[in-house]
Amino acid sequence: MQYTRRQLVKSAAYLLGAFSSAALLEACSSPSPAAAPTVAPPPAQPTSAPAPTAASAAATTAPAPTSAPAAGAITGVTPAAEAAGMVAPKAARGDLTPGTIVIAISGGPEADAHTRLASKFTEYTKGKIQVRVEELPRGTPGTAKALTTLQGQSDAWDVLSVTSDNFETWGEAGFMAPLKTFIGNPDLFNAQAYNLDDFPKALLDIPNVKGEQIGFPQEASTLMFFYRKDLLKKYGIQEPGPKGYSWDELLNNALALKPKLAADGQTDMFPLVFGVKPTGHASIQTQNVIWSYGQEIFDEKWNPQLTSDKANQAMTMLTDFLFKHQVVSEGITGYEYPEVLTALQENKAVMALQWNAAAPTVLDASKSPAWGPDNTAFSVYPYGPGGPDQKRIRESVWAVCVSSFSKQQEAAFSYLAWFTSKDVARDYVLNGGGSSGRSSLLTDPDIVAKNPQYPAVLNGFNVLHLVPRIPEWSYISGSILDPDMSAIWSKQVSVADGLKKANDEIVNYLKDQGVL
């Protein structure tokens, strides 16, 4: 499918200008020193619905965890690396046509992993393929370069790092080559050695356009449940199981904790903390809780469903944690990833809904003294009436893809297969650069011993929910849902009125865009 330049600029621009949570999600997904992610301010409310206005280039996905402990970096063609070579037989035999492949990726820990491992792929191909990493700036400059390069059908890049917000738009534009032909060629890909089934299906479905796999995951993030297991034990609260608390269980436990904390003189500690700041989280929490009630945001004809009974029940339940029960601080209206992390580091809460990115900091007793490895535990994000297997957590994924315009697609695909194979992915799971998403790695005892959050992260991946596959979605999420849901949290409007306002604005916007 060939998009006109106007269509691409229109459908890509909305992701940066309108979807303010994109920068937040990018910051939330990958290992780097824990710091407050930079988030673009939301755009001014338009007087009439504009066309979707700039996607984050090759990267917009979730808050960054601190660096994982260094361990097991690939330093040569080790037995593990040779085993990884089995996934790309032609490359491993040294039979690829000599050349240099270029990886286009936004700068950060994900890019660092490619740089660190590039020479190992060259060794792996018996010197036939060199690898060069071209780092794009995050934000508008990177977006402009990506769109110019890809719309011009340039063969400058062979491997593209693409994130959740761009899979649909870029896939529809034909920027990424479907992987079916490569996967079906046993000379290029050993399916048994690679084991696609090692990825949770919900995760593998994300870099997928109209049933075509267009990439393999490198990094995925999830909002999840953090808790002080020592305090739950002290106060007689049962810990959640592997599938997490229901919302009712979470509320009941928070209500039980409230008087116990007060009796202990913990007047500055709340039972629970989460973020609903209107720089992404007001919208994200709304999506998650509505999905947890088994309600989709749209019907099959793209009519919004925010005025449904389930949507009202879900938002009423969530806002009542603050409005009715006061088991969270009023400060949550200004909280997102960094503020929630700070609240945990300063011992302001017993439980939290937070990105997995924060786990290394919370587990580090020197940075989070009250938490640390002895007191911290994790589970999956709460579930609603839809049940614990209901897909409910907003996707946040980086995937590596083959450029449709590359003249070295066999080499590019071989690199994808090698880089995301189990034995090579182990390097960046341990040393920074991505969580991989592979079940075997996230449950590996040696890895889990140093990263106890990973089993809960994996359970979160099993219930990831795709964002609506429509080019207008990020504008809707960032410029309609985010401010309108924030108005509910700040009590400017009721839950019902806020949801109706958002629903009406979405209808008008989609009519202007010719969707409805």
pLDDT digits (tens, 9 = 90+) for 211-241: 999 999 999 999 999 999 999 999 999 999 9
Report the CATH fold assignment for 79-221+397-455.
D-Maltodextrin-Binding Protein; domain 2 (3.40.190)
Listed residue (335, 303, 278) closest to 480, CA to CA:
278
Cα angle 30-438-73, degrees, rounded to a multiple of 5: 60
C-beta of residue 495 within 8 angstroms of C-beta of residue 193 = no
Please report the pLDDT score of residue 109 as a whole number. 86
Q: Examine the pLDDT at 467 and tell me if it is beyond 80.
A: yes
Confidence grade of residue 137 (pLDDT, cut at 50, 70, 90) = confident
Phi, psi of 331 (to 5 degrees): -65, -15
β pairing state of 159-163 and 208-209: unpaired
Q: How large a percentage of the chain has pLDDT more than 70?
A: 83
Q: Is the pTM of this model over 0.95?
A: no
Please report the pLDDT score of residue 139 as a whole number. 64
Please report the pLDDT score of residue 86 as a whole number. 86
Confidence grade of residue 432 (pLDDT, cut at 50, 70, 90) = confident
Q: Examine the pLDDT at 2 and tell me if it is beyond 70.
A: no
In angstroms, the CA 233 to CA 237 distance is 6
Confidence grade of residue 375 (pLDDT, cut at 50, 70, 90) = very high
In angstroms, the CA 226 to CA 359 distance is 8
Please report the pLDDT score of residue 121 as a whole number. 97
pLDDT digits (tens, 9 = 90+) for 138-166: 766 877 898 899 999 999 999 999 988 78
Cα angle 335-367-72, degrees, rounded to a multiple of 5: 110
Cα angle 169-170-173, degrees, rounded to a multiple of 5: 90
The DSSP H or E segment spanning 349 is strand 349-355
In angstroms, the CA 379 to CA 236 distance is 18
Report, as an integer, the average pLDDT of 306-327.
98
Q: How large a percentage of the chain has pLDDT more than 90?
A: 74
Please name the residue that has the structure tokens 């009125």: 497
Cα angle 70-73-75, degrees, rounded to a multiple of 5: 140
Domain extents in the chain: 79-221+397-455, 223-393
Position with higher pLDDT, 61 vs 325: 325
Confidence grade of residue 471 (pLDDT, cut at 50, 70, 90) = confident
Please report the pLDDT score of residue 62 as a whole number. 53
Length of the chain: 516
Q: Examine the pLDDT at 51 and tell me if it is beyond 90.
A: no
The CATH superfamily label for domain 223-393 reads: Periplasmic binding protein-like II (3.40.190.10)
3-state secondary structure of 493: coil
Q: Do the domains spanning 79-221+397-455 and 223-393 agree at the CATH topology level?
A: yes
Please report the pLDDT score of residue 455 as a whole number. 96
Confidence grade of residue 6 (pLDDT, cut at 50, 70, 90) = very low
Confidence grade of residue 31 (pLDDT, cut at 50, 70, 90) = very low
Mean confidence (pLDDT) of the chain: 86
Q: Examine the pLDDT at 108 and tell me if it is beyond 90.
A: no
Q: Examine the pLDDT at 71 and tell me if it is beyond 90.
A: no
pLDDT digits (tens, 9 = 90+) for 75-99: 444 444 444 558 999 999 999 999 9
| HEC profile of 152-199 | CCCCCCCEEEEEHHHHHHHHHCCCECCCHHHHCCCCCCCHHHHCHHHC
Q: In the 8-state DSSP scheme, what is residue 4?
A: P
Please name the residue that has the structure tokens 């075997």: 440
